[in-house]
Chains A and B, each alone.
Chain A
Amino acid sequence: MKNRWIKLIGFFTIVTMLTGCDPLLVLDPKGPQAEVQAKDIMLSIGIMSFIVLIVFVILAYMLFKYRASKQSPDYKPPYIEGSTLVEVICVGIPVLIVIYLSVVSVDSNYKVESTPEKYEHEEPLIIYAATSNWKWHFSYPEENIETVNYLYIPVERPIEFKLYSYGPITSFWIPQLGGQKYAMADMLNTLHLAADYPGEYMGRNANFNGKGFTENTFNVTAVHQDEYDEWVNDVKDTAETLTEEKFDTLLEPGHVGQSTFNGTHLMFLPPPVHVGEEVEAAISEDDESQQNKN
Chain B
Amino acid sequence: MDYFERFAIPHPSPAIYASMVAIGFTVIALIFVLTYFKLWGYLWREWLTTVDHKKIGIMYLISAIVMLFRGGADAIMMRAQMAVPNNTLLDAQHYNEIFTTHGTVMIIFMAMPFIMAFMNFIVPLQIGARDVAFPRLNALSFWLFFMGAMLLNISFVIGGSPDAGWTNYFPLADNEFSPSVGTNYYLFALQISGLGTLMTGINMIVTILRMRAPGMTLMKMPMFTWSAFIANVIIVFAFPVLTVALTMGTFDRLFATKFFTTTDGGMDMLWANFFWVWGHPEVYILILPAFGIYSEIISTFSKRNLYGYKSMVGSMVIISFLSFLVWTHHFFTMGQGALTNSIFSITTMAIAVPTGVKIFNWLFTLWKGNIEFTTPMLYSMLFIPTFTIGGVTGVMLGMSAADYQYHNTMFLVAHFHMVIIPGVVFAMLAGLHYYWPKMFGFMLNEKIGKITAWVIAIGTLLTFMPMFFSGLDGQARRMYTYTESTGFGIWNMISFIGAIGFTIGFMLIVYNVYYSIRYSPRNIGMDPWDARTLEWATPNPVPFYNFAKQPHVNSVETFWDSKNNGHELFPEPYEDIHMPSNSGMPFILACIFFAWGFSFVFSMWIPAILSTIGIFICMALRSLEKDPGYYVTVKEIKETEKKLRGVQ
Q: How far is the CA of A202 from the CA of B485 in the complex (A)?
A: 11
B419: min CB distance to chain A, Å: 14
How far does the Cβ of B347 sit from chain A's closest Cβ, in whole Å? 10
Residues of A within 8 A of B305 (CB): 79-81
Chain B interface category by residue count: 35 or more
CA distance A166 to B311 in the complex (A): 51
Contact of B93 among A45, A79, A211 (CB under 8 A): A211
Nearest Cβ on chain B to A134's Cβ, whole angstroms: 10
The answer on a CB contact under 8 Å between B405 and A41 is yes
Q: Given the known A-B contacts A63-B371, A179-B407, are A40 and B465 also in contact in the complex, defined by CB atoms under 8 Å? A: no
Contact of B401 among A59, A67, A105, A165 (CB under 8 A): A105
Q: Nearest A residue to B388 by beta-carbon distance?
A: A55
Tell me the complex Cα distance, A208–B525, Å.
54
Stretch of A107-115, A122-130, A218-226 that contacts chain B: A107-115
Chain B residues within 8 Å of A235, by CB? none
Q: Say whether B403 faces chain A, with CB atoms less than 8 Å apart.
A: yes
Per-residue contact bits, chain B 336-371, to A (CB 8 Å; 1 contact, 0 not): 011001100110011011001101110110111111
- In the complex, whether B402 has a CB less than 8 A from a CB of chain A is yes
Minimum CB distance partner of A189 in chain B: B335
Complex interface: chain A residues within 8 A of B363 (CB): 55, 58-59, 62
A residues less than 8 Å from B268 (CB atoms):
169, 184-187
Q: How far is B367's CA from A102's CA once the two chains are assembled, in angstroms?
A: 32
Within 8 A of A (CB), among B62-98: 92-93, 96
Least distance between A199 CB and chain B CB atoms (Å): 15
- List chain B residues, Cβ under 8 A from A184: 268-269, 335
Q: How far is the CA of A175 from the CA of B364 in the complex (A)?
A: 42
Contact B408 A171 (CB under 8 A): yes
Decide: B381 and A59 in contact? CB cutoff 8 A: yes
Cβ of B392 within 8 Å of any chain A Cβ, yes or no, is: yes
B311–A113 CB distance below 8 A: no
Asked whether B481 is an interface residue with its Cβ less than 8 Å from the other chain, the reply is yes
Residue of B267, B309, B404, B409 with most chain A CB atoms under a 10 A cut-off: B404
Is the beta-carbon distance between A41 and B396 smaller than 8 angstroms? yes
- A56 B337 Cβ-Cβ under 8 A: no
A169 and B359 contact, CB distance less than 8 A: no
- Given A26-B474, A55-B363, A101-B395, CB of A17 within 8 Å of CB of B469: yes
State whether the Cβ of B477 lies closer than 8 Å to any Cβ in chain A.
Answer: yes
What is the CA–CA distance of A3 and B369 in the complex, to the nearest angstrom?
Answer: 21
User: Given A52-B389, A80-B304, A206-B407, does the pair A71, B370 have CB atoms closer than 8 Å?
Assistant: yes
A59 to B266, CA, bound (A): 52
A108 touching B401 by the CB < 8 A rule? yes
Known interface pairs A6-B458, A87-B357. Does A169 touch B172 (Cβ–Cβ under 8 Å)? Answer: yes
List A contacts of B310 (CB < 8 A).
82
Contact B385 A208 (CB under 8 A): no
Let me know if B526 is at the binding interface, CB within 8 A.
no
Complex CA gap A190/B338 in Å reads 12
Is A63's CB under 8 angstroms from B476's CB?
A: no
- Return chain A residues, CB-CB under 8 Å to B349: 98, 101-102, 105
A211–B350 alpha-carbon span in the complex (Å): 38
CA A184 to CA B361, docked complex, whole Å: 45
**Size category of the binding interface on chain A:** 35 or more
Q: Does A269 contact B (CB under 8 A)?
A: no
Chain A CB within 8 A of B603 CB: no
If A82-B309, A101-B349 touch, whether A110 touches B338 (CB-CB below 8 Å) is: yes
Also in contact, A51 and B404, with CB within 8 A (given A41-B396, A66-B370, A168-B177)? no
- C-alpha gap A6/B169 in the complex (Å): 38
Q: In the bound complex, how far is the Cα of B473 from the Cα of A106, in angstroms?
A: 25
Evaluate contact between B474 and A168: CB separation under 8 angstroms.
no
Is B369 a contact of A102 with CB atoms below 8 Å? no
On whether the beta carbons of A82 and B311 are closer than 8 Å, the reply is: yes
In this assembly, does B417 line the interface, its C-beta being within 8 Å of a C-beta of chain A?
no
A105 touches B342 (CB 8 A): yes
A95 touches B370 (CB 8 A): no
A213 in contact with B479 (CB, 8 Å): yes
B285 to chain A, nearest CB (A): 23
Binary contact readout A60-100 vs B (1 if CB under 8 angstroms, 0 otherwise) = 00110011100100011111111000110011001100100
Q: Could you tell me if A187 and B335 are in contact, using CB atoms closer than 8 angstroms?
A: yes
In whole Å, how far is B313's beta carbon from the nearest beta carbon of chain A?
11
Q: Are B169 and A44 in contact (CB under 8 A)?
A: no
Question: Could you tell me the distance between the alpha carbons of A172 and B378 in the complex, rounded to whole angstroms?
Answer: 44
Contact (Cβ within 8 A) A109 B402: no
The answer to whether A185 touches B92, judged by C-beta atoms less than 8 angstroms apart, is no
A63/B366 in contact, CB under 8 A: yes
| Contact with B487, one of A2, A7, A22, A167 (Cβ below 8 angstroms) | A22
Q: A25-B472, A26-B473, A27-B472 are in contact. Are A109 and B165 (CB under 8 A)?
A: no
Which residues of chain B are near A168, meaning CB under 8 Å? 169, 171-172, 177, 262
Please determine whether A101 and B477 come into contact, CB atoms closer than 8 angstroms.
no
Decide if B359 touches A55 in the complex (CB within 8 Å). Answer: yes
Query: Which residue in chain B gives the minimum CB-CB distance to A36?
Result: B401
| Distance (whole angstroms) from the CB of B543 to the closest CB of chain A | 32
Contact A133:B479 (CB < 8 A) given known A40-B399, A75-B370, A105-B346 = no
Query: In this assembly, does A182 line the interface, its C-beta being within 8 Å of a C-beta of chain B?
Result: yes
Q: Are A179 and B338 in contact (CB under 8 A)?
A: no
Within 8 Å of chain B (Cβ to Cβ): is A178? yes
Closest to A209 in B: B172
A212 interface hit (Cβ, 8 Å): yes
| Nearest neighbor of B269 in chain A, beta-carbon distance | A184
Residue of A nearest to B557 (CB): A79
Q: Which residues from B are CB-within-8-Å of A15?
A: none
Inter-chain contacts of B311 with A (CB < 8 A): 82, 87
Report B-chain residues with C-beta under 8 Å of the C-beta of A111. Answer: 401
Residues of A150-205 whose CB lies within 8 A of B: 163, 165-169, 171, 173, 175, 178-182, 184-187, 189-190, 202, 204
Closest-CB distance, B379 to chain A (whole angstroms): 12
B29 interface contact, C-beta 8 A:
no
For A40, give the chain B residue with the smallest CB separation.
B402
- The answer to whether B400 has its CB under 8 Å from any CB of chain A is yes
From B341, B396, B469, A24 is in contact (CB under 8 Å) with: B469
Contact A175 B405 (CB under 8 A): yes
B331 touches A182 (CB 8 A): yes
For the complex formed, measure the closest distance between the CB of A241 and the CB atoms of chain B, giving whole angstroms: 28
Which residues of chain B are within 8 angstroms of A67 by Cβ–Cβ distance?
Answer: 371-373
Task: Please tell me if A254 contacts chain B, counting CB pairs below 8 Å.
Answer: no
The reply to whether A59 and B400 contact each other, CB–CB distance below 8 Å, is: no
A residues near B, CB below 8 A?
Answer: 2-4, 6-7, 10, 14, 17, 22, 24-27, 34, 36-38, 40-41, 44-45, 48, 51-52, 55-56, 58-59, 62-63, 66-68, 71, 75-82, 86-87, 90-91, 94-95, 98, 101-102, 104-106, 108-114, 133, 163, 165-169, 171, 173, 175, 178-182, 184-187, 189-190, 202, 204, 206-214
User: A3-B457, A113-B341, A210-B96 are known contacts; what are 8 more A-B pairs with Cβ within 8 Å?
Assistant: A25-B473, A40-B401, A62-B367, A80-B368, A102-B346, A165-B262, A178-B404, A208-B478
Residue contacts A-B, CB under 8 angstroms, 5 given: A45-B396, A55-B384, A79-B305, A106-B342, A106-B345
Chain B residues packing against A (C-beta within 8 Å): 92-93, 96, 163-165, 169, 171-172, 177-178, 262-263, 266-269, 272, 302-305, 307-311, 331, 333-335, 337-338, 341-342, 345-346, 349-350, 352-353, 356-357, 359-361, 363-364, 366-373, 381-382, 384-385, 388-389, 392-393, 395-396, 398-405, 407-409, 454, 457-458, 461, 465, 468-469, 472-474, 476-482, 487
Name the 8 nearest CB pairs between A and B, nearest first: A179-B404, A108-B401, A185-B262, A82-B308, A168-B172, A62-B366, A189-B335, A48-B392
